[in-house]
Chain A
Amino acid sequence: MITGYWPYLIHFGIAAAFVAFLLFLTTKIKPANSDKAEKYPDTFECGVPRKGDARGMFNVRFYIVAVMFIIFDVEAVFLFPWAVSFLDYKATGLGLFILAEMTVFLIILFIGYFYMIRKGALQWEDPE
């Protein structure tokens, strides 16, 4: 049952309004600046003139990390309801059953995890 979440809408509204108001306030208070070159400077790259665009390529390993995160986060999603209902199952005498079930789940996960390590998904330097 999902109850008691409506106050967070109010909380969000007040917080967002407060932050937006402060940002608006700073645009009103700060010294007026008509010089375009000063208001819109070039991005800072250690003092030398900027070269090219920042939206280039970056290391593919960050992408692999994101994919692995999805896998393990979904697994954590499965673990949460298991943890919540563990005591209830234990009270009805099914404790060993639910423990064994999660053990199997964890073992399957570990197999995938070791496969991932063996494939070198977490290797940050080149192998040679």
Chain B
Amino acid sequence: MAWYQTEIFWVIVKVAVILFVILTGGAYYTLAERRWAAFFQMRLGPNRAGFWGLLQPLADGIKFILKMETFPRNADLFLFMLAPVISTVTSLMLWGAIPFTPIIELPEAAQKITGSKSFILQVSNPNAGVLYMFAVSSLAVYGILIAGWSSNNKYSLLASVRATAQMISYELSLGLSIIPIILMTGSLDLYTIIETQKNSWFLFTLPGFLAFWIFLVSIFAESNRMPFDLAEAESELIVGYHTEYGGFKFAFFMISEYMNLITLSLLAAILFLGGWTLPDFISSAISNVWLQHAAGIGLFLLKAFFFVFLFVWVRWSVPRFRYDQLMDIGWKVMLPASLVIVFIAGIYVYLK
């Protein structure tokens, strides 16, 4: 095979693996959320389908497929069908830039089969990976906006307008909160950002520590999660922008929300907690290279899992904000704070 054929072949394999993992992860996150919610409320939660309810996502999926399909009478049908597709495709695209593994040198035998010297579980390594992530994730706004507008329901429209205003407001502080990281790294490449944190995570530097809290609050607002889930305030707007959706179209919205949460958790682990890097004193204690890689990747997933759990933990612990409070926090606290942090980071990097 020519070189580009092998390249394309491996890209397709990686995309297939990543799509499978993210879809399964998103499906099982719904189960985890329900189980943990039950745990917080001293209930049992779904535990009938399979051991510990582990087959529950499958049962849900079958039920979603078998549901009768309805379309609102006065909806814009093309946009109505397009909205869940946009939401899902954007959240599926997001995993393309995340480096799940370090560059692994392959042994001789594997080199012959794969035709390349090293392996990395990342669809591509663009030199502006961070920008790619933020660009694609901001496209998710279109899914919500189109969903609310096309279903021609007053509650859906109101919810989608609210969600859009909220997401674009917090996108500012989200974008500004990673500037300290870029300042300290001097690169937009996610791989370089991880490697720079080999011996000290960005969380433990002054600007990184300050920016982390902005980032944390912003990802909650960005993904419409609990303290900021004004788009789905069921006491005010029936269920939000997907009121009119049922069956698999609703499942797409649901799963894309959970996939986005997983992506943001991974991103938080990459940007602030050092990704899969091991500090020198640990990597020198492990002699085998493969064990080192396994430990690093395991730690990376563990860090991401902490944020995955945090999303649920906060959801069942904190009450919802009022809409004007939400906007005030976004524009009058987070935005000036993140601008000041950019300035602090500039001074910090200059003096260092």
Chain A positions within 8 Å of B, measured between CB atoms, are 1-8, 10-12, 14-16, 18-20, 22-23, 25-27, 29-31, 33, 38-46, 53-56, 58, 62, 65-66, 68-69, 72-73, 76, 79-80, 83-88, 90, 95-96, 99, 102-103, 106, 109-110, 113, 117, 122, 124-125
Contact = CB atoms under 8 A, between A and B. Distances in A.
Contacts of A84: 182, 186-188
Interface residues of B, number: 81
A25 B65 contact: yes
B156 interface: yes
B114 to A, nearest CB: 16
Given A4-B126, A43-B153, A90-B349, A73 B171 contact: yes
Contact of A26 (B69, B124, B244, B347): B69
B302 to A, nearest CB: 26
A3 B127 contact: yes
A62 B166 CA distance: 9
B209 interface: no
A11 B93 contact: yes
Q: Is the interface of A mostly helix, strand, loop or mixed?
A: helix
Interface in B271-288: none
Contacts of A62: 161-162, 164-165
Q: Main SS of chain B's interface residues?
A: helix
A54 to B, nearest CB: 5
Given A53-B152, A73-B175, A117-B332, 13 more contacts: A5-B132, A10-B15, A11-B11, A26-B69, A38-B68, A38-B70, A39-B69, A54-B157, A58-B158, A80-B182, A109-B339, A124-B323, A124-B328
Contacts of B151: 43, 54
B347 A40 contact: no
6 contacts: A1-B127, A14-B19, A22-B248, A54-B156, A73-B168, A76-B179
A76 B93 CA distance: 23
B249 A12 contact: no
B172 A44 contact: no
A19 to B, nearest CB: 5
A99 B89 contact: no
Contacts of A102: 342-343, 346
B11 A10 contact: yes
B142 interface: no
Given A39-B70, A58-B161, A106 B89 contact: no
A23 B283 CA distance: 47
Contact of B74 (A11, A53, A86, A96): A53
Nearest to B72: A43
A8 B243 contact: no
Contact of B168 (A8, A45, A46, A69): A69
A124 B197 CA distance: 42
Given A11-B93, A15-B89, A30-B68, A88 B186 contact: yes
A44 B244 contact: yes
Nearest first, the 4 closest Cβ-Cβ pairs linking A and B are: A124-B324, A87-B186, A7-B124, A83-B182
Contacts of B183: 83, 86-87
Nearest to B74: A43
